[in-house]
Structure 1
Amino acid sequence: MTLSISRRRLAAAATAVLGGVAFAAAFPGAALAQTDIKFTLDWRFEGPAAGFLLAQDRGYFADEGLNVTIDTGNGSVEAIPRVATGAYQMGFGDINSLIKFLDEDPAQPVKAVMMVYDKPVFSVIGRVSKGVTSDPKSLEGKKLGAPPPDGAFAQWPAFVAAAGLDTSTITIESIGFPVREPMLASGDVDGVFGFAFSVILNLKANGVPDEDISTILFADHGLNLYGNAIMVNEAFAEANPDAVKGFLKALAKGFADAVADPAAGAAAVLQRNETLNIDTETARLTMANEMNIKTPYVVENGFGGIDEARLAASIETLKISMALKGAVTAADVFDASYLPPAEERMLP
């Protein structure tokens, strides 16, 4: 009797295994969706987030055996401790702030693994009618609104050094993200810190005409830094290297889709926030693609990688302008070993 029961159990187990194999073959994404990843964005669901959302909506994460949850953020600086503490396994944040973060505590278990904004979007956006032009010197004598967690504001000391500004005549007022564009539109401040593609379009929505909007992009005035990157908690990466590799492979596909079809990318964004305008988010995504994502370097070398010498040079810049106290190297900050081959990271 015992032998008969054992045989029946073995047969049932074999059937279950074979059934599982057949199920996996028929539904690879569903069968493999077993590694959970909580991912934090730097900001709200807006046009530039389309690459992440298309990777999710089109099953690219599931195809890699991943169950990904994407949450909004409150600035590209705040994403860093979220990942370092393990509250999120992966996230999207400013690599320059990550350098500063690691300089203050090299033991923090967080590292960048994929570059997204090859050219950073850090800017001061101003009103021409308030005397702010495309010349950084026009900021002298002005009042600027700065949300403390903003990635652009985090690079203000570096920009001041690069542009040679006299800050003794510049007033910085701490403001919240929700009132940033309304305060500039009403003239309460002369300029604000932020990501160009976000602030410009939000200003237009607040009734400010094109001809009254001026943009000072830090990267165009001596600050040759990188921008936002994908970060990973190192303990998670060491325990789940294939999950990290799969995430980046899926994300490369999602961003390629967002570049090829910005309207589809914007539609994915609106599925998460129906209060947005499809034309505005398509324009925002197109602006991000052209200014920050599909740069000449990326066209030649593929999306997601870095020039290590350029990153090292940017660290030297930050040593001077942000008073880094340690010896953080490019290798301490960025690990390219999880990236898919360059041919799988080319943008259309």
Structure 2
Amino acid sequence: MFQRFAQICAAGAVLAAATTAGAETKVPFALDWKFEGPSAAYFAAVDNGHFGEAGLDVEISAGQGSLDAIPKVATGAFPMGFADINSLIKFLDQNPGAPVIAVMMVYDKPPFAIVGRKSQGVMAPKDLEGRVLGAPPPDGAWAQFPAFASANDLDVDAITVEPVGFPTREPMLAEGKVDAVTGFSFSSYLNLVRLGVPEDDISTILMADHGLALYGNAIIANTEFAAANPELVTGFLGAVAKGWADVIADPAAGAAMVQDRNPAADVALEQRRLQLAIDANVATDYALENGMGGIDAARMETALAQLAENYEFQTTPDMSLYFTDAYLPDAAMRMLK
């Protein structure tokens, strides 16, 4: 039922794109979150003409998480989107044949992190033992904690886990009610700064730097739409890479583009959020050497095995169901610097 509904919706998306008046093809793009610093690359692709050069008229919509963005693309309501590949893998395991796949890796390292207070003794993974960890139950970083604990040989029985809400997570850490929290590195860090926690008292333990091979957020596409419009998808991905190169070269301009769409945004804060995402998640050694967008097959196999420590697969994991590089432009078109 889901597959048939998705195919009908995807066909509608293809038809809508094909019948757009004028030279540019309309392509709605679903973000996973609200307009913040890391969104700047997509705004740069619009404002600096990269999408236009590819013959695309891209309308960017904010979202409410990867679990919001993935169904939008799977049903064809949006032909392209941005979402966590680990959430996509689970979605496809639970909805076999759903027409959605990752086509370009953006966060070569996911932002899943443990963010703690040095003054409360949390500077390394082992420091969590004997302390209180605040974790929102739906949090993406918390979902990876079993594999993180295994990779770092943590005694989970020695860690007190306090379920917290997203709005109270950083305030509880700032008030000393918990010693560390799970969250996205760039978001939790800056939320603590805004709450007045001294920056030299904040420790960010990025799970990708401590044993996890998992990938992060990727550009996702409706497979029916992509099959019918391969050159369009490749042009879209090339424009995204150029947008990221732009904001890496000039993060201040990127933050200003965010504020243009979100007037309530603190432009200095969003520039810092963007820079944190660039440094930790996007411009990794692998991406700088190979161009952004691709994956290492051996690493992905390890990532799937680690994901199986956090999630019980209903079917045998198959990397080809979750990611394809078939639409990526040449590496030279994806270089970040």
> What's the TM-score once normalised by structure 1's chain length?
0.84
User: Who is 2:9 aligned against?
Assistant: none
| Structure 1 outlier segments of 4+, above 4 Å | none
User: Who is 2:61 aligned against?
Assistant: 71
Whether 2:225 is the aligned partner of 1:236: answer yes
Q: Which moved more, 1:196-205 or 1:323-332?
A: 323-332
> Does the CA-based 8 Å contact 1:37-1:67 persist in structure 2?
yes
User: Who is 1:124 aligned against?
Assistant: 114
- 1:273-292 Cα deviation digits (max 9, x unpaired): 22322222222222221211
Kindly report which structure 2 residues correspond to 1:219-234, keeping only aligned pairs within 5 A, or say none.
Answer: 219-234=208-223
Of the three residues 73, 76, 92, the one matched with 1:86 is 76
Matches of 1:207 and 1:342, distance apart in 2: 42
Whether 2:254 is the aligned partner of 1:252: answer no
When the two chains are superposed, the root-mean-square deviation of aligned CA atoms in Å is 2.2
Give aligned pairs, total: 318
Of the three residues 25, 32, 46, the one matched with 2:23 is 32
Matches of 2:285 and 2:114, distance apart in 1: 24
After TM superposition, give the deviation of residue 293 of structure 1 in Å: 0.9
Kindly report which structure 2 residues correspond to 1:260-299, keeping only aligned pairs within 5 A, or say none.
Answer: 260-299=249-288
User: Who is 2:291 aligned against?
Assistant: 302
Whether 2:72 is the aligned partner of 1:98: answer no
> Does the CA-based 8 Å contact 1:45-1:269 persist in structure 2?
yes
- 1:177-204 Cα deviation digits (max 9, x unpaired): 3333223222333322211111111211
Of the three residues 131, 139, 153, the one matched with 1:150 is 139
The verdict on how the C-alpha distance between 1:339 and 1:58 changes in structure 2, with shifts beyond 3 A counting, is same
Structure 2 counterpart SS, 1:188: coil
Of the three residues 27, 37, 42, the one matched with 1:52 is 42
The verdict on how the C-alpha distance between 1:314 and 1:332 changes in structure 2, with shifts beyond 3 A counting, is same
The verdict on how the C-alpha distance between 1:259 and 1:321 changes in structure 2, with shifts beyond 3 A counting, is same
Query: Which of 1 and 2 has greater Rg?
Result: 1
Matches of 1:212 and 1:31, distance apart in 2: 55
Supply the AA of the counterpart residue of 2:24.
A
Matches of 1:257 and 1:314, distance apart in 2: 30
In structure 2, stretches of 5+ residues that fail to align are 1-20
The verdict on how the C-alpha distance between 1:337 and 1:230 changes in structure 2, with shifts beyond 3 A counting, is same
Kindly report which structure 2 residues correspond to 1:203-222, keeping only aligned pairs within 5 A, or say none.
Answer: 203-222=192-211
Matches of 1:239 and 1:147, distance apart in 2: 40
User: Who is 1:22 aligned against?
Assistant: none
User: Who is 1:192 aligned against?
Assistant: 181
After TM superposition, give the deviation of residue 301 of structure 1 in Å: 0.8
Of the three residues 305, 320, 326, the one matched with 2:315 is 326
> Does the CA-based 8 Å contact 2:146-2:309 persist in structure 1?
no
> Does the CA-based 8 Å contact 1:37-1:69 persist in structure 2?
yes
> What's the TM-score once normalised by structure 2's chain length?
0.87
After TM superposition, give the deviation of residue 312 of structure 1 in Å: 1.9
Q: Which moved more, 1:334-343 or 1:95-104?
A: 95-104
After TM superposition, give the deviation of residue 51 of structure 1 in Å: 0.7
Matches of 1:48 and 1:320, distance apart in 2: 29
After TM superposition, give the deviation of residue 89 of structure 1 in Å: 2.1
> Does the CA-based 8 Å contact 1:253-1:345 persist in structure 2?
yes
Supply the AA of the counterpart residue of 2:293.
G
After TM superposition, give the deviation of residue 148 of structure 1 in Å: 4.2
Whether 2:324 is the aligned partner of 1:335: answer yes
> Does the CA-based 8 Å contact 2:143-2:310 persist in structure 1?
no
Structure 1 counterpart SS, 2:326: helix
After TM superposition, give the deviation of residue 149 of structure 1 in Å: 4.2
The verdict on how the C-alpha distance between 1:63 and 1:175 changes in structure 2, with shifts beyond 3 A counting, is farther
> Does the CA-based 8 Å contact 1:77-1:151 persist in structure 2?
no
The verdict on how the C-alpha distance between 1:83 and 1:154 changes in structure 2, with shifts beyond 3 A counting, is farther
Structure 2 counterpart SS, 1:45: coil
Matches of 2:191 and 2:278, distance apart in 1: 18
Matches of 1:56 and 1:178, distance apart in 2: 32
